[in-house]
Amino acid sequence: MSDNDWLASVPRLELGHGPTPLEPLHRLSRELGGPMIWLKRDDCTGLATGGNKTRKLEYLMADALEQGADCIVTYGAVQSNHARQTAAACAKLGLPCHLLLSQRVDWPHESYQTQGNVLLDKLLGAILHTSSLEDAATARKKLLEKLHGEGRRVYEIPAGGSSPVGALGYTRCLEELMAQCADQGVGGNLIVHASASAGTQTGLVFGKSVLDLDAKILGINVFHPDPQTLKDRVTQLATKMAESWPQAELKQAFDVQVNHAYFGEGYGQPTQGCIRAINMAAQLEGLLFDPVYSGKALAALIDQINLGNLNHLDDVILIHTGGGASLGAYIDAF
């Protein structure tokens, strides 16, 4: 079995557009005076404005159909990008979609509850259930009991699609990205991305081990008050992937690197650096970043370049994990 055959044998539905572009940010890079920034455009995956969850859902929805599911349940914050992409995938496949959204972000503006991803969830026909963070476990139990009582064959997707199956989407993404780097002559020594529910970083870390890459994969923590929690979760998920697909031979130990310096006041709370980064990308490159995920990753990359910490590199790669759909919910931040 060749390096890639094990992954090709895992069931996957083609739900997204790909390969997503790898494009240089000429004006932003010139403005900063550091290495060339290359953007992996996973905001262009499709599924109702796209994002990184589409890659995960290709494997998760294939798994759901293989198991005979006739109903999908998943979880997230009120402005969850994952929830929106799951709702779009379900609409595409004709499956009922229940979204259990928890009030975990202290953003006291009305737009947060009604605009952005919430509006799209409703347009996509998802059934929304909201609860406080404290009541989320009880709400989940009641919802599942109700659906099972109706005879539904429920497939549960964890928050962010971050399971061993979902993480495969980013192992596949890393293969795609490395092929693009080779074709386009781009140095792939540093790959930066926003890291929250851990599935994206897990898939990349697992792929780095399988492909035996020297690349540094740096997750910018945007969710966990203690960054060690994120590191542990990535390691645990990657270990489960290795157990699930032993035919994927690991050629190096898992290398989990997290930067916590750009977390700010908490998950879903935009920092001033993030707002500046979003404005720079919009006005210099015509690109939309969000204030929860990729905006904070971009802010981290800009700051590291300004500090001179990346002067030894010719190229850096930022994975744009999407999220622009939530901008309308954060109008008060601007």
Known catalytic residues?
80
Beta bridge partners of 257: 218
- Report residue 90: phi and psi, to 5°: -65, -40
Count Cβ atoms within 10 A of the Cβ of residue 19 and give its class: 0-12 exposed, 13-18 middle, 19 or more buried: middle
Strands 315-319 and 216-221: unpaired
CA distance 124 to 90: 9
Dist. CA 35–CA 310, nearest whole Å: 7
Cα–Cα distance, 313 to 73 (Å, whole number): 43
3-state helix, strand, coil in the chain (%, to 5): 50, 15, 35
Q: What DSSP state is assigned to residue 21? A: P
Q: How far apart are CA 33 and CA 13, in angstroms?
A: 42
